[in-house]
Amino acid sequence: MELIIKLMRFRGNVLPTNYQYALSSWIYKVISRADQDHSTFLHERGFAFDGKRFKMFTFSQLDVRPYKILGNEIQLLGNEVSLNIRFHVDSSMENFIRGLFMHQHCGLGNKYAQTDFQVIGVETKPRFVFNTTMRYECLSPIIVSAMRDDHSAAYLGPDDPAFGPVFIQNLIRKQAALALHNDATEPATIQNIMSFRLLNTPRKKGITIKEGTEQETKVIGYLFNFELTASPELQETGYYAGFGEKNSIGFGCCGVRSTNN
């Protein structure tokens, strides 16, 4: 399911540029108020396959226009912001999840920059019908990494030859984790011909997670347009659960640019 959340600020007008983790924490908090077990499952366990764990939701960057960047802070010049949240859930859950976000308060920031919001609108977007070839644009950076010999993460750019195979393998693992969790008797369709194609010059973006804490981590993602050829099931998984890594912290949320049969 796909939600467009509209928020009105009522206190403060400044956000840190690295707000993704705070926004992710708010989403977990909203879910936990109605379903503590599901929130704990998402946060601590997730959907597991082949040693990887996936949370199966993602969200876009905040649309904060108009704004100014002042060092490490975003000054909000308007009163409203919005974001897109996606969950890979059964359609029977959609009205329930939509209702969770209505009229919620949302405080985002740190001790230096904080803004408080009130949710003023929640819109559910119709489900897409996915084809075997789709074109997407990033609404938040996509992160793809490979492990170095010293077990540190090497963040790959979409113009790296290794990016496409790792990107597609991540999607396949997500789909397998969903099938395992749902006790599927048959695996989802995985076609033999799958491909990733970069469509424009990528824009590199460094992001700090848990900024200012002992758990502070720096990651690198990229914003770009791309074409993906894969089964409609894999297209759907990427769209609603997120492409690449760290989706539940606000990475890998993409919009559809065009479709091809």
User: Average pLDDT for residues 90-108, to the nearest whole number?
Assistant: 82
pLDDT higher than threshold 90 for residue 137: yes
Name the band, by pLDDT with cuts 50, 70 and 90, for residue 178.
confident
178-182, 199-203, 227-231: which has the minimum mean pLDDT? 178-182
pLDDT higher than threshold 50 for residue 99: yes
Same domain, 157 and 219: yes
Q: Are strands 47-49 and 254-260 parallel, antiparallel or unpaired?
A: unpaired
Same domain, 149 and 252: yes
Q: What's residue 177's pLDDT?
A: 79
Same domain, 203 and 158: yes
Same domain, 99 and 41: yes
pLDDT higher than threshold 70 for residue 50: no
Residues forming beta bridges with residue 134, ordered by sequence position: 228, 259
pLDDT higher than threshold 90 for residue 130: yes
Same domain, 116 and 138: no
Same domain, 161 and 89: no
Mean pLDDT computed over every residue of the chain: 85
Same domain, 196 and 227: yes
Asked if residues 156 and 168 have their Cβ atoms less than 8 Å apart, the reply is: no
16-20, 57-61, 107-111, 182-186: which has the minimum mean pLDDT? 182-186
Name the band, by pLDDT with cuts 50, 70 and 90, for residue 1.
confident
Domain of 244, CATH number, reads 3.30.70.1900
| pTM given for the model | 0.85
pLDDT higher than threshold 90 for residue 176: no
> Which phi and psi angles does 90 have, rounded to 5°?
-65, 145
Range(s) of the domain holding residue 237 = 133-260
Q: What's residue 5's pLDDT?
A: 96
- Within a 10 A sphere around the Cβ of 99, how many other Cβ atoms? 11
End position of a domain, from candidates 103, 125, 147: 125
End position of a domain, from candidates 125, 155, 176: 125
Q: What's residue 255's pLDDT?
A: 95
Query: Token pair of 212, please?
Result: 């200012």
Domain of 34, CATH number, reads 3.30.70.1890
User: Average pLDDT for residues 89-113, to the nearest whole number?
Assistant: 83
* Structural domain count of the chain: 2
CA distance 233 to 235: 5
End position of a domain, from candidates 97, 125, 153: 125
